[in-house]
C-alpha cells in the first residue's frame, strides 16, 4: 500500500458534507485498504466558519473555496454545496488544477453537464456524480458501466423522496396535500421551501441526467417536461384507488420505438397496485431500467438524507482515488447518439379525466363525440349523478399527448360540461 495519502478537499459541510467527513475519519483504515492508499481530508470550505463542526479539525476550515481548489496538492475535490454558482466555477477550477471531482450537484449537472464533462476530458480528470441522482441507490454507475454493452430503452422511477412521502400519506391516511406536506416538513423530509421537490424541479434534473446516460445523448433540464404534485387532490387519490391504482410522481425517460429520438418527463401518474413501484412507501426511491438484453432491472432504497447520500459520495471517492493511483480515468460523457428530445405533445400516453357534467340525456354521447373527433379512443367510462349534476370519469387508450390535451380543451367548450375536475396520466401497464 502507498503510504503517502491522497488529499481530499471538501466543498460544503452541511448535512451531507459533515457525514462525508465523519465517514472519512471513522472508516479511514477500511477506505485505505480498499483504495490502496490512505485518504486525508486536506481542507473544508464553508460559508460560516464560526459554526462548531464536531470531529473536524478547525484548522481545516476555510471560507476561501477558490484558494482551496487551486492548491496543487489536492487529488480529489468533493462538491456538496449545490446550486449553479459558485459550484460550476469551483469544479472547473479544480479540474484545471489537477484534481478529479466528485459531486452531488444534480441541478448543475442537468444544466451544464456537457461543459463539465468537456473540462474533465480536457484536463484528464474524473467527474463522478452517483449521489446526484438517487441518494444511496447505485444507479449512475450501473448505467454508465454495467449496462455499457446493452441498449437501454426506458428508465421509469420514483426519484424524489419528499413527493413520494406526501403522496403515500395522502393515499394511506386520507390526508389532503397541505396536511401531508406539513407532516413531511415536521419529519425533515421537506425543506422550509419545498418548491424544488413538490413542483418537480428536483426530479426533472435527475431525469435529465438519467436520460443522458441511458441513451448516450445530451439532455438538459429544459428538455424535460415537468409537472409537480401541488394540484393532486384527495379526489384524485380516491379515483386512483377506485381503479385499483395509486398516484406517484414519476420520472420517465424513453427511447422512441424507431430509435430516432428520446423523451424525458416528470409528472404525477396513476399506476396499478400490481406494479412494483406502487409499493414504494414513504420517502424511498425506486427506479426501473428496461434494457434490450438485461430485461427489467429495479433499483430501490433511500433516495436522500445525509448518510445515504454520503454513502454514494464515498463510493465515488473510492473509485476516483483508485483511478488516481492507477494513473487512469473512468468513463466520461457518452453522447455519441446525438438524439433529439421530442416534445411532450408527441409522447404517447393514457389519460384519466374526471368531468363535472349536467345530469341529462345525451351528455355521454357529446363527450364521446369530442374524443372521436380528436382521434382519441376511450377505454372505460364511469358515470354517476343526481339532482341535475353528475360526474363522468373517462380513461383513454394510449394516444399522443397533444391529442389528449386538445380533447380536454374541446371538452371545456361543451355547454354540458360544468368543469374538468382532474386530469392525470396513467402509466405502468
CA atoms within 13 A on the CB side of 60: 20
| Alpha helices (H) along 301-362 | 306-325
Q: Which long-range contacts (CB under 8 A, 24 or more apart) does 86-93 make?
A: 87/11, 88/112, 88/116, 90/11, 90/65, 90/66, 91/116, 91/119, 91/127, 92/116, 92/119, 93/66, 93/69
Is the Cβ–Cβ distance between 103 and 79 less than 8 Å?
yes
Is the Cβ–Cβ distance between 88 and 110 less than 8 Å?
no
Write out 230-271 in H/E/C secondary structure.
CCCCHHHHHHHHHCCEEEEEEEEEEECCCCCCEEEEEEEEEE
Q: Which three cell numbers stand for residue 45?
A: 470550505
Is the Cβ–Cβ distance between 1 and 37 less than 8 Å?
yes
How far is the CA of 108 from the CAs of 105, 194, 225, 354, 389, in angstroms? 6, 19, 18, 38, 50
What burial class does residue 415 get, using C-beta atoms within 10 Å of its C-beta: 0-12 exposed, 13-18 middle, 19+ buried? exposed
Closest-CA residue to 302 (of 10, 3, 5, 16) = 16
Is the Cβ–Cβ distance between 72 and 7 less than 8 Å?
no
Catalytic residue numbers read 206
Calpha distance 380→382 (Å, rounded): 7
Amino acid at each position: 500500500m502507498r503510504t503517502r495519502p491522497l488529499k481530499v478537499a471538501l466543498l460544503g459541510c452541511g448535512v451531507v458534507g459533515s457525514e462525508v467527513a465523519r465517514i472519512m475519519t471513522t472508516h479511514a483504515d477500511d477506505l485505505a485498504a480498499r483504495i490502496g492508499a490512505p485518504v486525508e481530508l486536506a481542507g473544508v470550505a464553508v460559508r460560516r466558519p464560526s459554526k462548531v463542526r464536531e470531529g473536524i479539525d478547525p484548522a481545516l476550515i476555510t471560507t476561501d473555496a477558490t484558494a482551496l481548489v487551486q492548491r496543487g496538492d489536492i487529488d480529489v475535490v468533493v462538491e456538496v454545496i449545490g446550486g449553479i454558482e459558485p459550484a460550476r466555477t469551483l469544479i472547473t477550477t479544480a479540474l484545471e488544477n489537477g484534481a478529479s471531482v466528485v459531486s452531488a450537484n444534480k441541478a448543475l449537472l442537468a444544466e451544464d453537464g456537457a461543459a463539465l464533462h468537456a473540462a474533465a476530458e480536457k484536463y484528464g480528470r474524473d467527474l463522478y456524480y452517483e449521489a446526484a441522482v438517487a441518494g444511496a441507490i447505485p444507479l449512475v454507475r450501473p448505467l454508465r458501466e454495467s449496462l455499457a454493452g446493452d441498449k437501454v430503452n426506458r428508465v421509469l422511477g420514483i426519484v424524489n423522496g419528499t413527493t413520494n412521502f406526501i403522496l403515500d400519506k395522502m393515499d394511506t391516511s386520507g390526508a389532503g396535500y397541505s396536511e401531508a406536506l406539513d407532516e413531511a416538513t415536521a419529519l425533515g423530509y421537506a425543506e422550509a421551501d419545498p418548491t424544488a421537490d413538490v413542483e418537480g424541479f428536483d426530479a426533472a434534473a435527475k431525469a435529465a441526467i438519467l436520460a443522458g446516460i441511458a441513451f448516450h445523448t445530451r439532455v438538459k433540464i429544459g428538455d424535460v417536461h415537468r409537472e409537480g404534485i401541488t394540484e393532486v387532490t384527495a379526489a384524485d387519490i380516491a379515483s386512483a384507488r377506485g381503479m385499483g391504482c395509486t398516484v406517484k410522481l414519476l420520472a420517465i425517460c424513453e427511447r422512441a420505438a424507431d430509435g430516432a429520438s428520446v423523451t424525458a418527463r416528470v409528472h404525477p401518474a396513476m399506476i396499478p397496485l400490481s406494479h412494483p413501484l406502487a409499493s414504494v412507501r414513504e420517502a424511498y426511491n425506486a427506479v426501473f431500467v428496461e434494457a434490450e438484453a438485461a430485461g427489467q432491472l429495479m433499483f430501490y432504497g433511500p433516495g436522500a438524507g445525509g448518510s445515504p447520500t454520503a454513502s454514494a459520495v464515498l463510493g465515488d471517492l473510492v473509485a476516483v482515488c483508485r483511478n488516481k493511483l492507477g494513473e487512469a480515468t473512468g468513463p466520461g460523457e457518452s453522447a455519441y447518439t446525438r438524439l433529439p428530445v421530442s416534445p411532450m405533445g408527441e409522447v404517447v400516453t393514457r389519460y384519466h379525466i374526471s368531468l363535472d357534467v349536467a345530469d341529462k340525456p345525451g351528455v355521454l354521447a357529446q363527450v364521446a363525440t369530442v374524443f372521436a373527433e380528436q382521434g382519441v379512443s376511450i377505454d372505460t367510462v364511469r358515470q354517476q349523478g343526481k339532482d341535475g349534476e353528475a360526474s363522468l370519469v373517462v380513461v383513454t387508450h394510449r394516444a399522443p399527448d397533444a391529442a389528449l390535451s386538445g380533447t380536454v380543451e374541446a371538452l371545456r367548450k361543451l355547454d354540458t360540461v360544468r368543469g374538468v375536475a382532474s386530469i392525470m396520466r396513467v402509466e405502468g401497464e
